Structure 1
Amino acid sequence: MHVSELRFSLADVAGVRLAVSPANETVMSMWAVSSPVHYAVHLPWIDRARVTLRRPEVADRVRPLVELARPRTWLPDFLTPAARPNVEMAEQLDQIAATPPAVVVQDLLATTPSRPLSPFGRALLADPRGLLPQLVDAVRVWYDEAIAPDWPRMRALLDADVAYRAAQLAENGAGRFFEQLHPSLRWHGDRVISDDTFERDFDLRGRGLALNPTVFTERHVLWNLLEDSLPAGAYPVRALGTLWETSAPPPGDPLARVVGPGRAALLHLLDTAATTTDLARFAGMSAGNVSQHLSALHDAGLVSRVRQGRHVLYRNTEAAAVLLRASRGG
């Protein structure tokens, strides 16, 4: 194991920012599809995604992304652009499409130490201007077909992580924040030291650092660190094991007898922060019913709410956690 060092100025510390990147999740999800044994937590999603990928009309259009996002292969940085708060997929697709040909070539060549380029990678290297639209279309199709149906669930988990980390940064400062972000990171003076698969000494040069949680890596922080790109890092999201859980109350749930089945169902779901829209989808209720239940639970001190950009996230309070532990027999 090697060590990478990221050197910070005061401007870089002030420029640390957290966001969710739908493009990163879309691209990195290909690793899980290609190597499910290493992503067992995602098996419910992988099963559906593989069925989708076998459809001829999807397979043909997604092939460029499949070839570039192979297991054990570095991703070209332009495919995982640094995210800003509240960015939408369409904006990130436009950003990828606007990548200058010279940057496409540079980023492709930077991946070759890990593995030779695929046939599409070699073709893109030779004709970046002509073939980049095919790659952008591949990312768009894969997002629409495989990610978008489950994006509310993924987004809720990612947004909750951003809110949690932002609070840590505000309360504890940058040094403690990075050490809590992942066990492989340490703060030393004016730099972050990262256990890595290779050695780098990288100066952020006042550009700050964009960080985004991801559901598609569990073991490492993945860095986008090229001199001509905005510095960025993707780190494993918290509570990943809850992503595909069904959290409906069990039959005979004593909590449902006390607060009603609808409100009990929401409390079981709110171990992880979620929006009203997410809860309506997961619980099979109308948004109006969810809003009424959340209002009553909030007034009773059982759920908290916090605004994160354009979203309002709800989560159980400690009082609700006590009730849930009792109802689950814990």
Structure 2
Amino acid sequence: MPLRLRFGTDDLLRCRFGFSPLCETHEAVRTLRRRGRHGYHRPWLRRMREAVAGLDLSALWLFMPRGGYTPDFLGPPPGTPFTSPASFEDELALLRVTDPAVAHEEMARSLACTPGAAESPLGREMLDDPERAVQRLADLTERAWQALIAADWPRLRSLLEADIAYRSRQLADGGLEGLFADLHPGLRWSGGTLAISSPAASLGVWDLGGRGVLLMPSIFVWPDVVSGFAPRWQPTVIYPARGMGALWQRPVPEAPGALVRLLGANRAAILSGLDEPASTTALAHRHGLAPSSVSEHLTVLRNAGLLASRRRGHQVLYERTPLGMALATGEA
């Protein structure tokens, strides 16, 4: 049974977008342990091996149970407007002033999701001194930010901002029904209720009570969608950002001159760079082209027998045929 969020009239007026560098840091830490589910992030993980080797993340991982509860104080939702988002330093400062009583309650709830965690030496140490535990987790979060996120943040922020701009247009064109239809396969909108199906989602039915929903795109939450329903904060839905599939891909190789003369620059670039199946959206992001233009090029290449397409979930993926591969590589 999925989690269901019931929207009232006031909730429809209080939906907003935002993103959080602190949230991205913790989702990146979580990604390091998603065994067999790394997908798009494999190139990033290879690049991070040396940095991760110097980090002891056990205290953070202790409070990130798979399919269980993560303390809300570790990821307070952004309270500032999207037009002037808080910095990592601002969000970290908010984490540092967490009430120790609140921290103890939330850490105990999180540890209860993992048998034996509360009785472990580290679990007891964190619960016995919650004030010190908050500072320890904040210090570790800051080190993780510097090692895993800080250098890439301008690129990540640009992609998150682009997602919000696109989703805002969807909301303007089709309302919440149009927005949620394309946001994530685990989301279903019907009759004023948003159903969230995800391994990390809680169960039950919750009335939003006029607080609306904060919608947050994320790079590292993929492939899940995550919901947060803390009493003291606005209910939050975190979903994978549009276009993140091409974020870590290597630069597209330059198409041979003969292929450019035969197909044109853009079609030649698409065919040459299609080393693995990709969607129209991913190719548009990779080549800096409008999705409509890429769609037209893909149709021409497919009709010429150079590409094949297949559906995976809500996506259509394109890949080279043997003829397309021979033409792109110059191998008969």
TM class by shorter-chain length? Answer: 0.7 to 0.9
Which residue does 1:21 correspond to in 2? Answer: 20
Which residue does 1:106 correspond to in 2? Answer: 105
How many angstroms does 1:318 deviate by? 3.8
AA paired with 1:15?
R
Which residue does 2:251 correspond to in 1? Answer: 247
Q: Is the 8 A contact 2:284 2:290 kept in 1?
A: yes
Which residue does 2:285 correspond to in 1? Answer: 272
How many angstroms does 1:151 deviate by? 2.2
CA distance, structure 1, for counterparts of residue 246 and residue 168 of structure 2: 21
Which residue does 2:69 correspond to in 1? Answer: 74
CA distance, structure 1, for counterparts of residue 70 and residue 260 of structure 2: 47
How many angstroms does 1:135 deviate by? 0.9
1:214 to 218, 241, 245: 218
Aligned identity (percent) is 29
Which residue does 1:191 correspond to in 2? Answer: 193
CA distance, structure 1, for counterparts of residue 20 and residue 264 of structure 2: 37
Which residue does 2:156 correspond to in 1? Answer: 154
Which residue does 2:236 correspond to in 1? Answer: 232
AA paired with 2:224?
H
C-alpha offsets along residues 228-274 of structure 1, whole Å, 9 cap, x if unaligned?
3331121122233212112334242565999999xx89xx9982299
Normalising by the residue count of structure 2, what TM-score does the alignment of the two structures yield? Answer: 0.72
Which residue does 2:147 correspond to in 1? Answer: 145
2:129 to 127, 149, 152: 127
AA paired with 2:144?
W
Which residue does 2:227 correspond to in 1? Answer: 223
CA distance, structure 1, for counterparts of residue 227 and residue 86 of structure 2: 19
Which structure has the larger Rg? 2
AA paired with 1:78?
F
Which residue does 2:177 correspond to in 1? Answer: 175
* SS class of match (1:68): coil
Which residue does 2:50 correspond to in 1? Answer: 51
AA paired with 1:175?
E
* SS class of match (1:162): helix
Normalising by the residue count of structure 1, what TM-score does the alignment of the two structures yield? Answer: 0.72
How many angstroms does 1:187 deviate by? 2.1
Q: Is the 8 A contact 2:63 2:110 kept in 1?
A: no
Q: Please, which runs of 5 or more residues in structure 2 have no aligned partner?
A: 274-281, 308-332
CA distance, structure 2, for counterparts of residue 16 and residue 37 of structure 1: 34
How many angstroms does 1:323 deviate by? 6.5
* SS class of match (1:186): strand
Q: Is the 8 A contact 2:43 2:249 kept in 1?
A: no
| Bigger proportion of residues as helix | 1
Q: Is the 8 A contact 1:35 1:71 kept in 2?
A: no
C-alpha offsets along residues 185-209 of structure 1, whole Å, 9 cap, x if unaligned?
2223232122245422222222221
CA distance, structure 2, for counterparts of residue 161 and residue 249 of structure 1: 26
* Aligned residues: CA RMSD: 3.3
Q: 1:73 to 1:53 in 2, by over 3 A?
A: farther
C-alpha offsets along residues 95-148 of structure 1, whole Å, 9 cap, x if unaligned?
211222232223223324531346444433332222211111111111111111
* SS class of match (2:197): strand
How many angstroms does 1:325 deviate by? 8.2
C-alpha offsets along residues 40-71 of structure 1, whole Å, 9 cap, x if unaligned?
3211211232321222xx43xx4432433355
